[in-house]
Amino acid sequence: MAIKSVKEVNRKEYYIFSPFLRIFHWIMASQIVILFATGLLITKPMNVAITEPVFSITSMDLVRDIHFTSAFILCASLILRVYGFIINKGDRLFPRVWEGHFYEETVDVALHYMLLKPHHASFLRNPLARGSYAALYVLLAIEILTGFAMYFMTNPSSTGGMLFGWVNVLVGSEMMSHYIHHYVAWFIILFAIGHLYMVIRAEFMEGESEVSSMFSGKKILAHTPKDANELD
Amino acid sequence: MEKRESLWEAYLRRGLSRRSFLKGCVALTSLMGFSTDMFSKVVEAAENKPLPVVIWIHGHECTGCDESFIRSGAPLASDVVLSSIALEYDHLLSAACGAPFEAHLDETIAKYNGQYILCVEGAIATKDSGVYCMSGGHTFTHLLKKAAAGAAAIIAYGSCSAYGGIQAAKPNPTGSAGIERFVGGKSVVKVPGCPPIPEVMTGVVMHVALFGTIPPVDGDGRPKQFYGNRIHDTCYRRPFFDAGMFAETFDDAGAKAGWCLYKLGCRGPETYNSCGNLRWWQGMSYPIQSGAPCIGCSNSNFWDEDPFTSRLPQYGKIGDADKIGTALGVLTAAGVVGHAVASVVQRNSRENLIDEDHHE
């Protein structure tokens, strides 16, 4: 008995993301939201405007503590990312800038996203996405370095101060670390908006399992992606 | 001064009592940030160490550091200059002038080669061979190099000599910079501040004078006992910060009540200095106490981090990074929606084409 809305399609299952990467991804996504919200509140705090600190709930202190806790959780979760990176090839989809075809393919994908071409070749992860994720890790690294540089310098002679204090010297001053930390946070949010849109678009318009693979770890595709060989 | 006398000998020569000498040593001990265990060592050093020869030169600056220095309350600057150090050459405080004065500098450098302390106030002007700062007919960089070569220790007083100072602000027409590059690779004790706290200035020079060593410094060369904490972490208004009680403008109720000045651009959270614990003028007050947010005058680049009254730089009428970021976020979101619509249109037109192909 054939059901009308069921059709037979030949699909292949590609296992890409280890559970470690997936857990890391969702921890990162949630912590970025928390970090961004609390970060804005730290730069421009709400004024509780009560008359006696005795009755205060130390709101600023609380917001900062949430920010710091969240930052530590994000940094700790990087361990998962690194472990997945070591054990699973699918966690290592680099932008292959050392291979010539990377650039042609980037242009090809970009032309499609500019709506100048009707479609682009299918990838497990397209070169433009690879580049943007690499850039995100750079932004993240800047946030971590400047963040700890500010955090640990409460006691410059502590171990943390020794490990991260040089960042303030490198960028010129500690205030500059604040500025950089704040500006880069905005770039991460702009990335997040674009990222959210692009994965949903890929999922629903191009049948690429971009969203579902970050839950299941697998892509079940009717076509063969061009970079499938990178999983072996 | 052939045989240089020690502090104790200087007291004896003036007929001062042992008791007042010991009292002076107690004051010195606490001034240098030591615990009382160190008292016996301070006394020992004061009895035996010959008073150090100090050469104090001034470069590209306003001499405001000296204005601060001469107001040191404990010890009195006059005590430091007249009895605790042998100040052989000082652009500002010396009575002599002209060729004999400059000749005396050369004599001092030759005579006490490798023994004298060099105190430097003011930046160096590096552009156009350093002609923007001249001293005694030579460029200041020339004088600095000459004096630094034989110095036992070099102390950089003020943000100018430590980092370049106000005149290093963009576009820095004179190429003003900290002295570090022109002292022949010797380590420099930085005592930044615009000006530094008087007691910090006298404290550092007395440490070097008595012990012959530079005080413990942090990675940037600043003495830890005076620059080891943020003003924010020693600020008496810190509880208001933690509570979220802020002055929003300079004339609101919060400002009158003495709440935290963070939202008015206070640089306390980024500034390492002793304003919060030593304060100024023998502990009378400091900028935040008088209602003015800290401008971070002991920081390496504070002059370019304007406006001082806001936490973020302002870009004219566009506003600060938060406004620009919000605008960019909205634009991106709008762009995303537009792109989605265009993508659907593109796909539909493509499918229509394919459908037409099938019909034909």
Q: Do B311 and A44 lie within an 8 Å CB cutoff?
A: yes
Q: Is the peptide bond between B307 and the residue preceding it cis, with omega within 30 degrees of 0? A: yes
CA distance A87 to chain B (A): 36
Q: What is the pLDDT of residue B318?
A: 86
Task: List, as ranges, residues 94-133 from A with C-beta within 8 Å of B.
Answer: 113, 115, 118
Residue A119, in any domain of the structure: yes
Interface check for A76 against chain B (CB to CB < 8 A): the answer is no
CATH of B7-226, one of 3.20.20.120, 3.40.50.300, 3.40.50.700, 3.30.70.920: 3.40.50.700
Contact A175 B301 (CB under 8 A): yes
Asked whether A84 and A92 are in contact (CB, 8 A), the reply is no
What is the mean pLDDT of the segment spanning A65-89? 95
Tell whether A65 lies on the interface with B, counting CB pairs under 8 A. no
Q: Which residue has the higher pLDDT, B36 or B295?
A: B295
- CA-only gyration radius of chain B, Å: 28
The yes-or-no verdict on residue A37 having pLDDT over 60 is: yes
Answer yes or no: is A74 within a domain.
Answer: yes
Summarised one tens digit per residue, pLDDT across range B266-283 is 999 999 999 998 899 888
A172 in reach of chain B (CB within 8 A): yes
Average pLDDT score over residue span A190-202: 93
Mean pLDDT of chain B: 88
- Interchain contact, A156 vs B240, CB within 8 Å: no
Please give the residue of chain B at the shortest CA–CA distance from A204: B344
Q: Residue A232 falls within a domain, yes or no?
A: no
User: What is the number of residues in chain B?
Assistant: 360
- On whether any CB of chain B is under 8 Å from the CB of A154, the answer is yes
Say if residues B6 and B51 touch (Cβ distance below 8 Å).
yes
The pLDDT score that the predictor gives to residue B34 is 80
Q: State the total domains in chain A.
A: 1
Inside any domain, residue A5: no
Structural domain boundaries of chain B?
7-226, 229-311, 321-359
Say if CB A171 and CB A177 are below 8 A apart.
yes
Domain that holds residue A22: 12-45+58-223
User: pLDDT digit string (tens) for B222-281?
Assistant: 998 899 899 999 999 998 898 888 999 999 988 998 999 999 999 999 999 999 988 998
Q: How do beta strands B188-191 and B153-157 pair?
A: parallel
Give the ipTM: 0.85
pLDDT(B14) > 60: yes
The beta-carbon neighbor of B245 closest among A48, A176, A193 is A48
How is residue B82 annotated by DSSP? I
Chain A's closest residue to B240, CA to CA, is A53
In a domain, A25, yes or no: yes
Residues A122-165 have pLDDT tens digits of 888 889 999 999 999 999 999 999 999 999 998 888 899 889 98
Minimum-distance CB partner of B263 among A45, A58, A174: A45
Alpha helices in chain B (DSSP H): 7-13, 18-31, 39-48, 64-69, 77-79, 98-111, 140-149, 158-163, 198-211, 224-227, 231-234, 238-243, 253-257, 321-359
| CA closest to A62 among chain B residues | B242
Q: Find the residue in B nearest to A49 (Cα).
A: B245
CA distance A173 to chain B (A): 6
In Å, what is the CA distance from B20 to each residue of B27, B52, B83? 10, 21, 13
- Beta-carbon separation of B218 and A176 below 8 A: no
In this prediction, residue B1 carries a pLDDT of: 45
Decide if A136 is inside a domain. Answer: yes
- The shortest CB-CB distance from B270 to any of A174, A190, A194 is to A174
Q: How far is B262 from chain A (nearest CA, A)?
A: 9
> Residue A51 falls within a domain, yes or no?
no
Compute the average pLDDT of residues B144-172: 92
Residue A210 lies in a domain: yes
Chain-chain contact of A157 with B332 (C-beta, under 8 angstroms): no
Average pLDDT over residues A110-122: 87
Q: Which fold has domain B229-311?
A: Cytochrome-c3 Hydrogenase; Chain A, domain 2 (4.10.480)
Task: Using CB atoms, pick whichever of A57, A118, A175 lies closest to residue B305.
Answer: A175
Distance from CA of B259 to the nearest CA of A (A): 10
Mean pLDDT in residue range A166-174: 91
The model's pTM = 0.88
- Identify the band that residue A54 occupies on the pLDDT scale cut at 50, 70 and 90: low
Of A47, A113, A165, the CB nearest to B248: A47
- Count interface pairs A-B at CB distance under 8 A: 127
CATH number of the domain within which A197 lies: 1.20.950.20
User: And the tokens for B171?
Assistant: 């576009």
Chain B neighbours among A 201-220 (CB < 8 Å)? Answer: 201, 205
Is the Cβ of A58 closer than 8 Å to some Cβ of chain B? Answer: yes
Show residues of chain B in contact with A47, CB under 8 Å: 244-246, 248, 254, 263
